[in-house]
Structure 1
């Protein structure tokens, strides 16, 4: 027996006794979980040089009960990886090693959810990433990790780079096992051909025995090496009283193998070693292709967040300092050069340049940003050197938020997926019962135990719940990936399903249908006054009307002085009041003026415009008429949305004439004008009480109440942060075309999920009775089961082409 050292304690053991860890390249080998855990701890903390300094010294292996799980409770680890949810619970993202089918996900979720103190468990089948929320007062993170390990899996904190390394290692392991299976299958097929030829032409018994033994030699490594993943899964499933897909495959192949051993030595029956080899190889080949296909679907999401810079250049006086993105504080000045990615949101203080925002909004045309313009993390500086002031931290910047949204979306499960997983959980036990009943029936009917066993094995092998479990997660992850490419971010995968079922779309006018940048087209001054007072007042508000007046004053007036305001008060959906240099300033719409007792009369030509009134000490000083242009493609997108069968409603806080004009221009028949935020929310609540399922799209603070009342809330990417925070979907490129594409992707994803579920159920309804009636041999059962899973995966990939057809 060859011996090898443990990579941590350096003690020698027989190679077969060591635990391989393929997350390292080249793989590391450990004598126990304790040594493996300590090696990971030192590697994660950058202390791998310890082993160089250690030389030939040997260590005492740490006890399994005192292994690296304790590090998960250390303050340094907690501050780095654990977040606090809004409810005050702890939350972490983990990669769970050892998952190779949806049943593994189901098993982990079931076991973890039963632990006291765990509030939420959601594991993504596609990338093995788990989101776990727990109450620290009831359970420790180390106890959660120990629970995962107790059922035969391992867990590490999520890190995109290490996750990619582990995925690569898993693909290599699967590839080597597949090669063994293919080699054995190709050779066993030649032997089987020789045996079948001998069956018709005559073959001496000693030759037949030699061929049987050759098949045995080929089947054994295939079953116990290539098929080892199924034995491991079956063992831990039985240990925790769950019947999984692994158990079905392992049972079918093992029963066939044992029966073939009996037949080989007793010479009383035919051997089926060829079936053993092919069952394991076909099933494993399907699994390997499935892993590769899912990886391609997830690559879009991984690439979305894996290329952000980890360091930025800070400008402090005449000094330039390279520092980590996590340590940058709001207000600090950052330098960005041509080709650099912007890591943190900010406002340009020096220079100008072109920026590529395709990572954020899918648009390939660069935009020019100048001093005073806002730049977003995730954009790329193309052609100059600029300095900008950070307005957010790294974790609260736009790109970091979007990556978090995508990661959460991958982990959240739609209702239809949860239902499918529940069905597949009962499915395995039902199949075992049917197989046992089949064995008894054929044994009683024919008097041949051999025939009954072979038919029962065919039932077990053909009726795999994989296709049923794959039906939803693969389709939803492909849909989310396609949406992300188009700048459409679903915060949960479940929102694909919910959005597809909605029948009413409610649109805010300003910033959603229109550009949200109204320009002053008419104005009238009643008296002479200091324009700087008005400029200070409109600059204190982020409302599009106020900002439109501010832009006009900045361009029209040559001498605007800085004025400080006091007692600033924003009156919701009406305007702003403040004190400056002893004057009471009032700016806003007609309702605000009327409530202040100021009479307003619209001059001729102002009727179809949005209005801004300005008063000083109760006297009306000026009126501005503004007009907002439609977004590019808004009319065409609304027509396309109608073609999807949606009822379109427009709500606006603007006055009736402007609202009517915009509604007629884009072809919306149902609209409401002059609504306050609570009235918009009440309107949506009324629609929902009538049984309509409502999607609301808006961009401003005044839309947040209405967004919160809708079944699906969509925030336009350039909108207020609070609107983005409470929304279910974010459109980063701020276009009406994206709104249409979001509906198309959602509807296509739900349609494909239903097709997958229908196919999976139909497949089992047809094939199980065929197998029970003795019309399917184990070999074709294995091939059929593998193909059913691949059909589901292939059908899901069709979602990628849905926008090309629309």
Structure 2
């Protein structure tokens, strides 16, 4: 009999959990109290349609700890709210980054639930970017209450403050869309008129009707040449001023040469008109540029959510008075108070107190780091247990976290080498083309036929216009980016497509990459007949509920019944104790539980110093890893594992997976050294990791890849993000890059071959402008069609 699945998140329901609700006449099981509570809230709020129409299960839900719930109130401070929201009269507007959105039904649920609040005037959720735009009366309902309401239905939200560059990027994307719309709409209209004119040439058309259709075509083409095509002119002009003939020079010449020639023919009623070619040519080029820009925009949307881990508020200590201030306004030398569950708002040094910190978003390792007087804390990490007084050493903008996030400005600015080669080829081609066109005009005007000189020259420019050459690489790259994105692979820097086919070594991090990156129960050994395994786990889960420790989360699903514990005490980095019905309970390390002969377990439970249970925890290997590594070996890649873990877990994985090289206990600097050694030996290296401790290695490697489940900072740094929780996508990434390289070579070969064939015919006057347009269009469509094959792979 298969294990029951959670109705809310679709995870396996542990045998010791018995939680259910009636829905549509059936009993639905839940894996934990959190999922049960969320489902109950959704159904009781009249939003049960969410479960009927969702396409993906929800994310697993954990109850909001009291410490975190209280910290949400810091967003209500006027100083903080002024930094993260905009005020328009009585209405406050804010953008929230929401975790846990899996499909459009999630967006519907959030909108419907928040609209039930009387203070909310408008709410709009984008499921693709996981953002929520909210307008509400903050004087009636504080922001903390709205965030708590979102948590009640299973979503964690925090204020999102877009940086200036992202706002500019969004504005530029809108301009792209407007130009594309203008050129596309006008292309359809002018093409209809062109069909009438072409058929009129064969069947006969009155001169007045022909002139009317030409004038209408001219008017419809004006928005294209005066607006949609202007970026080509500006780019061409910049190239001319820099004494560089880029691809946009002949593009601009062809567009405006054809337009003015057609306008001349319309005004003086002589020759042919090619307004449809002007519109279509502009539309095709704008379409390619828009798709490329859109892909970059999606990369920014997916990674810019990392800004949500930037601390928003801080508790400033001034003359022993606690003041809630914006984290962005902290200065070096300020003293701040950091409570359990709060995020450190700046880099600093501990002045008072002891605790442990979750630095997994910075280090990639999930074990907590002890913090005592004199220790350094990092902005963005989370305080677990104790209360700390910290002296700020670096303001948020200049902290390690701030500097890393600032690197996002550079991630999408590089151009693939293949495009650089295409540009170089285009410059060479453009120089010769302009010389050939000028020579053709002189030859025909002075020696052959002056009346045909203008039109023959136009034929040369149109027929040899580097449209196919300009589309050869961008369309292939756009198609492979779209196809990989559809498979769950987001390429942030398209330059990696040049390097991927040349890789020789693949370097893997361990924790969170080869393994799942979260603790789970491997074995439970009970030592007392009066306590079953379920009883022991329930006791541990009740005790661990007081902690924000990563290990505590492993026991959350086993909470069956809330117990009235008294005198709970947390010993930082050691364990938790409490009194239950006069019995002294302890859970934690062997030393904390005062055991003289401990086993190899990680967590122990005692009652009045008598051992009740010993729990072994493990970080499980991802199930897809063995098959992926075997596939990579068959493709002759050398496989290396560099891990900061110095325990036996690394050796166990080595025995199981047989890497070509294993180096354990690596610091970030040592990872860089090992990768640099491979690079210096002439190897092309890809690194797959998930923590910011991998970022230096990311920079050293030729290509860096991370998982969506990895830290937000690693997603910011990496060249490629695997959007599905499976590293098996690495094989699809490598196959897609090889296919793209092959298609680009085919496109370039056709583009160059076509021009070498058509140029002599056009110069000889054997190619009319009409045929030239068809040839140019056919060449471009052939290149685009060939590139579209990448969408089917």
TM-score normalised to the size of structure 2? 0.51
Counterpart of 1:246 in structure 2 is 252
Structure 1 residue 748 corresponds to structure 2 residue 761: no
- Measured in 2, the distance between the counterparts of 1:602 and 1:565 equals 21
Unaligned runs of 5+ in 2: 1-87, 90-158, 242-248, 303-325, 328-405, 529-535, 579-585
- Measured in 1, the distance between the counterparts of 2:677 and 2:202 equals 68
Counterpart of 2:224 in structure 1 is 229
- Compute the displacement of 1:514 (Å): 2.8
Unaligned runs of 5+ in 1: 1-44, 47-78, 97-123, 130-162, 193-209, 265-270, 307-328, 331-403, 569-575
Note the alpha carbon deviations across 1:209-239, whole angstroms, 9 max, x for none.
x87x886665555456447734775895698
- Measured in 2, the distance between the counterparts of 1:790 and 1:743 equals 27
Structure 1 residue 463 corresponds to structure 2 residue 464: yes
Counterpart of 1:397 in structure 2 is none
SS of structure 2 residue aligned to 1:651: strand
- Measured in 2, the distance between the counterparts of 1:82 and 1:557 equals 41
Note the alpha carbon deviations across 1:491-525, whole angstroms, 9 max, x for none.
23334444454332211233222333454445789
Counterpart of 2:361 in structure 1 is none
- Measured in 1, the distance between the counterparts of 2:218 and 2:192 equals 13
SS of structure 2 residue aligned to 1:631: coil
Instruction: Go from structure 1 to structure 2 and tell me whether the alpha carbon gap of 1:559 and 1:225 turns closer, same or farther (over 3 Å shift).
Output: closer
Residue of 697, 709, 713 corresponding to 1:722:
713
Structure 1 residue 174 corresponds to structure 2 residue 191: no
Note the alpha carbon deviations across 1:413-434, whole angstroms, 9 max, x for none.
4343355346546754542321
Contact conserved, 2:506 with 2:687, CA < 8 A, in 1?
yes
- Measured in 1, the distance between the counterparts of 2:787 and 2:408 equals 19
- Measured in 2, the distance between the counterparts of 1:436 and 1:686 equals 54
Instruction: Go from structure 1 to structure 2 and tell me whether the alpha carbon gap of 1:551 and 1:761 turns closer, same or farther (over 3 Å shift).
Output: same
Instruction: Go from structure 1 to structure 2 and tell me whether the alpha carbon gap of 1:188 and 1:94 turns closer, same or farther (over 3 Å shift).
Output: farther
- Compute the displacement of 1:171 (Å): 3.3
Contact conserved, 1:413 with 1:493, CA < 8 A, in 2?
yes
- Compute the displacement of 1:748 (Å): 2.9
Instruction: Go from structure 1 to structure 2 and tell me whether the alpha carbon gap of 1:740 and 1:294 turns closer, same or farther (over 3 Å shift).
Output: same
- Compute the displacement of 1:784 (Å): 0.8
| 1:347-426 matches, cutoff 5 A | 413-421=415-423, 424=426
Residue of 437, 440, 443 corresponding to 1:441:
443
Counterpart of 2:42 in structure 1 is none
TM-score normalised to the size of structure 1? 0.50
Counterpart of 2:132 in structure 1 is none
- Compute the displacement of 1:735 (Å): 0.2
Counterpart of 2:488 in structure 1 is 487
Counterpart of 1:738 in structure 2 is 729
Note the alpha carbon deviations across 1:21-40, whole angstroms, 9 max, x for none.
xxxxxxxxxxxxxxxxxxxx
SS of structure 2 residue aligned to 1:93: helix
User: Could you say what the CA RMSD is over the residues aligned between the two structures, in angstroms?
Assistant: 5.6
Instruction: Go from structure 1 to structure 2 and tell me whether the alpha carbon gap of 1:412 and 1:580 turns closer, same or farther (over 3 Å shift).
Output: farther
Counterpart of 1:13 in structure 2 is none
- Measured in 2, the distance between the counterparts of 1:169 and 1:261 equals 24
Counterpart of 2:755 in structure 1 is 764
Counterpart of 1:475 in structure 2 is 476
Instruction: Go from structure 1 to structure 2 and tell me whether the alpha carbon gap of 1:460 and 1:656 turns closer, same or farther (over 3 Å shift).
Output: same
Note the alpha carbon deviations across 1:78-126, whole angstroms, 9 max, x for none.
x9997346xxxx9612556xxxxxxxxxxxxxxxxxxxxxxxxxxx7xx
- Measured in 2, the distance between the counterparts of 1:406 and 1:748 equals 28
SS of structure 2 residue aligned to 1:691: coil
Instruction: Go from structure 1 to structure 2 and tell me whether the alpha carbon gap of 1:224 and 1:478 turns closer, same or farther (over 3 Å shift).
Output: same
Structure 1 residue 668 corresponds to structure 2 residue 659: yes
- Compute the displacement of 1:559 (Å): 9.1
- Measured in 1, the distance between the counterparts of 2:278 and 2:773 equals 6
Contact conserved, 1:252 with 1:458, CA < 8 A, in 2?
no
SS of structure 2 residue aligned to 1:630: coil
Counterpart of 2:276 in structure 1 is 281
- Measured in 2, the distance between the counterparts of 1:229 and 1:435 equals 25
- Measured in 2, the distance between the counterparts of 1:281 and 1:718 equals 49
Instruction: Go from structure 1 to structure 2 and tell me whether the alpha carbon gap of 1:516 and 1:83 turns closer, same or farther (over 3 Å shift).
Output: closer
- Measured in 2, the distance between the counterparts of 1:675 and 1:303 equals 34
Contact conserved, 1:408 with 1:492, CA < 8 A, in 2?
no
Structure 1 residue 83 corresponds to structure 2 residue 78: no
Contact conserved, 2:187 with 2:280, CA < 8 A, in 1?
no
Counterpart of 2:511 in structure 1 is 510
- Compute the displacement of 1:405 (Å): 13
- Measured in 2, the distance between the counterparts of 1:496 and 1:601 equals 56
Instruction: Go from structure 1 to structure 2 and tell me whether the alpha carbon gap of 1:259 and 1:292 turns closer, same or farther (over 3 Å shift).
Output: closer
| 1:140-179 matches, cutoff 5 A | 168=181, 171-179=184-192
- Compute the displacement of 1:462 (Å): 0.8
| 1:72-221 matches, cutoff 5 A | 83-84=163-164, 92-93=168-169, 95=171, 128-129=175-176, 168=181, 171-191=184-204, 219=214, 221=216
Note the alpha carbon deviations across 1:356-381, whole angstroms, 9 max, x for none.
xxxxxxxxxxxxxxxxxxxxxxxxxx
